[in-house]
Structure 1
Amino acid sequence: MKILVVGAGIIGMTTAYYLARDGHQVTVVDRADAAGAETSFANGGQLSYSFVAPLAGPGVLSKVPGWLLDRNSPLRFRPRLDPNQWRWSAAFVLACNAAKSRQTAEKLLALSFLSRDLYHELAEQEGVPFEFARSGKLVMHREAKSFDDARAQTDYQATLGCHQEVLNADQCVAIEPALADVRGEIAGGIFTRSEDSGDCRQLCESLVARLRTQGVVFRFGANVTRLITRGDQISAVEVDGDLLEADAFVLATGVDAPRLTRPLGIRPLLYGLKGYSLTYPLVPVSNAPTVSVTDLQNKVVYARIGDRLRVAGIVDMGDDNTIIRPERIATLARQTEALFPRLSASGAPTTWAGLRPATPEGVPLIGPTRVRNLWMNIGHGALGFTLATGSAHLLAGMIAGRADERAKLFKPTY
């Protein structure tokens, strides 16, 4: 079958990979000049298969007022005259309960464990290069209450197949010596050996190189202006005035998907949550972590990617562009310096901002739409890198008609 994939970020690229592996004739279209050039460009770098609890958790709403009053908080909300923002916010509030959060976490764990197996296959059997490392992940807690809640969550997740270790402060430092300077600030930590890290953009670029040898066609710098319908299906996409035809179409365009589907009466509830990252160049004497670290209180993640340290965090809602706000970058830099005062990077960090395409509940939309040959793979939020291979594999299976009970958990509803 001839399939056109719109979007060449990590979701689009992995989708193209598994579709091509099924023998389809695949074309990938993206408005950027290269794969992984937008949201996938400089994300957190962590592959956090066991830490997929949604942003809409039971304790989130009580923290929001404090976050909104703190200019350095991990979350900032800019109200706008945008009906979609308020629809999304209302749905988010309704999702902030324990039952919904657990239900979502169970869905995402099933998908992330599939992703984990597929990433290991990509890196270790297929030999696709992307600075993949079985680094493990340490979630550091600064508050006793937060740590106690995490211990309880660890017990629950053990029933779902997660193998995690509960550590005291000394054990945290033993696992990651770069945290020695903040030993007195650590209430405890949760360490998961099965977590990985990698370079999301490099994986996108490596998949382009691999797929070109398999006949996949790429059109970069190509703006998709609309979907052309004929009867109950899509006949073509309009790309800079040209019409590209196919038998089936997949939208992996992140926050841009609603623009294309709105004329069809399909309105996925999606919003771009802006995040930032810093990438520090390292040298052999740099005192940077080798284990992936999450500073839970500040909602910042740290991942070693080859000879670089990636620092990522912050959620800005209502800032729907990729303009880099100096004060937000300064916050990340201060937090990095406080956590790793002897980092000794070899130069100033590079900065980045991107829009994470999130659904209110945190569950991505993977599967068919009411238009017969139009499929979606969108809405992964901050977990796009972690869930990409599993999502793409599920979608390819749906298109091929392969049965998989996990697929039922993610089919889009509007």
Structure 2
Amino acid sequence: MICIIGAGIVGCASAYQLAREGHQVMLLDAAAGPGEGCSFANGAQLSYSYVEPMASPATLRALPKLLLQFDAPIKFRPTLDWRQYAWGMQFLMACREAQVNQGTRQLLELSFLSRDILDDWMRDGEWPIGFQRNGKLVMCHDEITMERQRHQMHFQAALGCEQTALSVDQCIEKEPALLPALKRFPRAYVGGIWTPGDCVADARLMCLTLVEHLKAKGASTRFGTEVTGFVTGRSGVTALKTSQGEIACDAVVLAAGSASAHLAQLLGEYLPVYPVKGYSLTLPMVATAQTPKVSVTDLGRKTVFAPLGTALRVAAMAEVAGHGVQLAPRRFAQIRSAVSAVYPDAVDAQADGQPWAGLRPATPTSVPVIRRMNSRSNVYLNVGHGALGMTLAAGSAALLSRCIQESRALLHPTRRDQRLKMED
């Protein structure tokens, strides 16, 4: 029995892939159902070609301004948790161009693998997850940002990305819903990068669907079951201590998001994973001809927009501020302001909508940890995907499966020479 701890998108994907391959699987979560945490209302973008790590020379240069700016999209709020400072120091050390380029290579390779595997999964049965292959526009407010995006586009082209730099008029052709904003503020943007292969999906619906599929393959689930400790022996972990009693196991997968760091510590290992808080607001679209059709990322506002049926999911902010998930009214005021500026006619920015905040489990380099635990031979890690959990989930599940078969690390945030290898 392989017990997967965590029923977010990464845990559900891991359980499904292992069940698909014939393993006996149990999926556990403290919540009442799947996708109740970070996957509940995330940004909804499958950003296969937009995976550049958050730690970068550009972020480092902007750090003084970000620390002083009250409403900065990236914020560090000190706590008494030593792990926050350790993570912060590692983040600063990761803001080197060589590290960023290596991280981008690793993440692109994993994202392309994930795209192919998710496509393969969706050929098996029904997948009511709001999936659309509608492409994405990354919009730039100034020439400096646009030039940097062109440079990144050329770098990624050599790694297999299909992207095109567009003028403002060409951006409007791709997404006519941007026209009203540009009529009001003609110089709001200078251009954008178009990525035709990026998609959207609802992460929570994907979690629910994955659970239905894995149960059909004979897997079991235990919700409302908090893991509080481990029973260990010579062979590793032999059982989980939970709020519902002990559960025997042959192997364990930690895929519990930012909570995985605490669980790993119980087994004597430090994980460089810390929560980065993000916010989203899901708003109804106005029934006009100019409703958004493609995903849009506004780089100046650090805000993403994803159409989900008749609603628009708007996500923003990155706060390194501890483990709280309180809804900050001023953050949602910022999101509503961004919606009014970008889609003044297509979305009712003042509608109640669905506000949400969640904790993205991030590593300092943005590269997730997919490997066997050093201290326990039958405990495996699949954690640290940050804002790319849904984008990378399917590929990470495949790597985890290979890791369990071969008992070796396949991806680690500090291994700069690592390449993914998935053979048939």
Same structural fold, with TM-score higher than 0.5 when normalized by the shorter chain:
yes
* Residue of structure 2 equivalent to 1:375: 380
> Which one of 229, 232, 240 corresponds to residue 232 of structure 2?
229
C-alpha displacement of 1:408: 3.1
Letter matched to residue 34 of structure 1:
G
| Superposition map of 1:6-405 within 5 A | 6-183=5-182, 184=186, 185-240=188-243, 242-285=245-288, 287-345=290-348, 347-370=351-374, 371-401=376-406
- The 1:124/1:71 distance shift into structure 2, 3 A limit, reads farther
Contact 2:255 2:382 in 1 (8 A): yes
C-alpha displacement of 1:181: 2.6
Contact 1:46 1:196 in 2 (8 A): yes
Letter matched to residue 216 of structure 2:
T
Cα distance between partner residues in 2 of 1:104 and 1:34: 33
Provide Cα deviations, 1:374-396, integer angstroms capped at 9, x if missing partner. 00100000110100000011101
C-alpha displacement of 1:70: 2.1
Contact 2:103 2:365 in 1 (8 A): yes
Contact 1:123 1:129 in 2 (8 A): no
Contact 2:139 2:298 in 1 (8 A): yes
**Partner secondary structure for residue 408 of structure 1:** coil
Provide Cα deviations, 1:125-146, integer angstroms capped at 9, x if missing partner. 5432201100101000001100
**Partner secondary structure for residue 70 of structure 2:** coil
- The 1:331/1:142 distance shift into structure 2, 3 A limit, reads same
Q: Among the aligned pairs, what percent are the same residue?
A: 41
Cα distance between partner residues in 2 of 1:138 and 1:402: 40
Q: Which runs of 5+ in 1 are unaligned?
A: none
Provide the TM-score with structure 2 as the length reference: 0.93
Cα distance between partner residues in 2 of 1:286 and 1:392: 40
C-alpha displacement of 1:288: 3.0
Contact 2:48 2:108 in 1 (8 A): yes
Provide Cα deviations, 1:210-264, integer angstroms capped at 9, x if missing partner. 2222211111111110122112500111111511111111010011112112132
Letter matched to residue 193 of structure 1:
P
Cα distance between partner residues in 1 of 2:118 and 2:272: 29
C-alpha displacement of 1:156: 1.0
- The 1:158/1:344 distance shift into structure 2, 3 A limit, reads closer
C-alpha displacement of 1:402: 9.4
Cα distance between partner residues in 1 of 2:258 and 2:141: 34
Letter matched to residue 252 of structure 2:
F
C-alpha displacement of 1:160: 0.4
Q: CA RMSD in A?
A: 1.7
Letter matched to residue 410 of structure 1:
H
Contact 1:366 1:411 in 2 (8 A): no
* Residue of structure 2 equivalent to 1:408: 410
* Residue of structure 1 equivalent to 2:419: none
- The 1:77/1:386 distance shift into structure 2, 3 A limit, reads same
Cα distance between partner residues in 1 of 2:300 and 2:194: 16
- The 1:317/1:289 distance shift into structure 2, 3 A limit, reads same
Contact 1:365 1:412 in 2 (8 A): no
Provide the TM-score with structure 1 as the length reference: 0.95
Contact 1:366 1:412 in 2 (8 A): no
C-alpha displacement of 1:188: 0.9
**Partner secondary structure for residue 375 of structure 1:** strand
- The 1:377/1:190 distance shift into structure 2, 3 A limit, reads same
Cα distance between partner residues in 1 of 2:288 and 2:413: 48
- The 1:178/1:411 distance shift into structure 2, 3 A limit, reads closer
Contact 1:367 1:411 in 2 (8 A): no
Segments of 4+ in structure 1 off by > 4 A?
none
Cα distance between partner residues in 2 of 1:287 and 1:345: 13
Contact 1:55 1:362 in 2 (8 A): yes
Contact 1:253 1:378 in 2 (8 A): yes
Provide Cα deviations, 1:304-348, integer angstroms capped at 9, x if missing partner. 112211000101111421110001111111111111111244942
**Partner secondary structure for residue 90 of structure 1:** helix
Contact 1:287 1:344 in 2 (8 A): no
* Residue of structure 1 equivalent to 2:420: none
C-alpha displacement of 1:282: 2.8
- The 1:356/1:95 distance shift into structure 2, 3 A limit, reads same
